[in-house]
Structure 1
């Protein structure tokens, strides 16, 4: 049900995306910090929508469908905007591409596996990847608007590279597990 609190939190994360992108596009220090605050709020809703759904016994098919979509939309649109504004530039585009490619790969894999009623649980390493990715994107949103004494953009870029490596590892892990199911499905069907 769309009116449950967990689902409303998920939808609010999707609804916040255009505002975050507009704030980053304007590209003034004040708007970058406002975008960062909105992004932090979106990250908090990502945690609480699942937590509340479990603890309030409001897990729903709609929530299970929307939550990963909201996460992927937020990450993908922010990465594209940060590349467009050159906050992610040069070689740092490589982990950004890896992250985007893995999101598409895992989405397709999950869709296929759902058809054959196979669930692929999120691993602890994937959760670490998500946390580091969220942190890196937060630093990159702030970018040059951060305090001069702290290398904010560099920290974000290093975090993006770490997230990119973890993304490749977890993407490979998901693909390997998915291929096992595909192969067994194929050999069972013949």
Structure 2
């Protein structure tokens, strides 16, 4: 194995995956939310950079080809598990998260069963869009905690009538409560909507892989 820059970036993404979850055990919120968001977005960007550099410098390697999809799955799965811990048993999230996790387990098991024949299950453009949609949705959902915390901190000790007056436009919004509230709503519902979209793409790619694998799964009539 050659320690090229693309391979180093892939390894760094693999290491960052558990860091997204562990940071919530080390730092209080919203600092943990900020670090998790920055860490996740940085790792997601390296997913594009390492592939681009590997093509540009012709530094493709078997190690990189093996580890890159594993790093992507680790980032997504661990981040989704972290979000479920932060949001609790939320129906709007548990359904798309379950769909995404089911597909990842199913396709991984399918590839393992097919062995060398799994080479026929090449990554499609749709699968790349799926990964991109997942990472954008997760990043948006991580930002929700930042808006929520700052809104909560700014209304501590503030009379409910004052808060109502601010939202009604009767009192000047010195602390940006309306902006923070709208940001939190946009982050939650926008991230949730993107996650449902990502889950739909995820199931489509899973069905596509299954159809491509069917010729290898049919029983030999001569057996």
TM-score by length of 1: 0.89
Distance in 2 (CA, whole Å) between partners of 1:88 and 1:138 is: 19
Counterpart in 1 of 2:82?
81
- Tell me if structure 2 keeps the 8 A contact 1:82–1:88: no
How far 1:27 moved relative to its partner? 5.3
How far 1:86 moved relative to its partner? 1.6
Distance in 2 (CA, whole Å) between partners of 1:182 and 1:118 is: 15
Alignment partner of 1:149: what SS? helix
Distance in 1 (CA, whole Å) between partners of 2:182 and 2:75 is: 29
Superposition pairs of residues 105-144 of structure 1, within 5 angstroms: 105-116=106-117, 118-144=119-145
Alignment partner of 1:28: what SS? coil
Query: What 5-or-longer segments of structure 1 have no aligned partner?
Result: none
Distance in 2 (CA, whole Å) between partners of 1:101 and 1:40 is: 24
Distance in 2 (CA, whole Å) between partners of 1:162 and 1:88 is: 20
- Tell me if structure 1 keeps the 8 A contact 2:84–2:94: yes
- Tell me if structure 2 keeps the 8 A contact 1:140–1:157: yes
**Aligned counterpart for 2:206 among listed residues 146, 171, 187:** 171
Distance in 1 (CA, whole Å) between partners of 2:28 and 2:91 is: 19
Distance in 2 (CA, whole Å) between partners of 1:87 and 1:137 is: 15
- In our comparison, the structure showing a higher alpha carbon Rg is 2
Counterpart in 1 of 2:98?
97
Counterpart in 2 of 1:148?
181
Distance in 2 (CA, whole Å) between partners of 1:7 and 1:56 is: 12
Runs of 4+ residues over 6 Å off in structure 1: none
Superposition pairs of residues 17-56 of structure 1, within 5 angstroms: 17-25=17-25, 26=27, 28-56=29-57
How far 1:117 moved relative to its partner? 5.9
How far 1:67 moved relative to its partner? 0.6
- Tell me if structure 2 keeps the 8 A contact 1:132–1:162: yes
- Tell me if structure 1 keeps the 8 A contact 2:137–2:195: yes
1:28-59: CA deviation from partner (whole Å, max 9, x where unpaired): 12321221111111001111112212221211
- Tell me if structure 1 keeps the 8 A contact 2:23–2:36: yes
1:84-114: CA deviation from partner (whole Å, max 9, x where unpaired): 1226722320110110111111122223334
Query: What 5-or-longer segments of structure 2 have no aligned partner?
Result: 148-179
Superposition pairs of residues 178-189 of structure 1, within 5 angstroms: 178-183=213-218, 186-187=219-220
Alignment partner of 1:3: what SS? coil
Q: Give the number of equivalent residue pairs.
A: 188
- Tell me if structure 1 keeps the 8 A contact 2:83–2:142: yes
1:130-154: CA deviation from partner (whole Å, max 9, x where unpaired): 1111110001112231343222111
How far 1:2 moved relative to its partner? 4.8
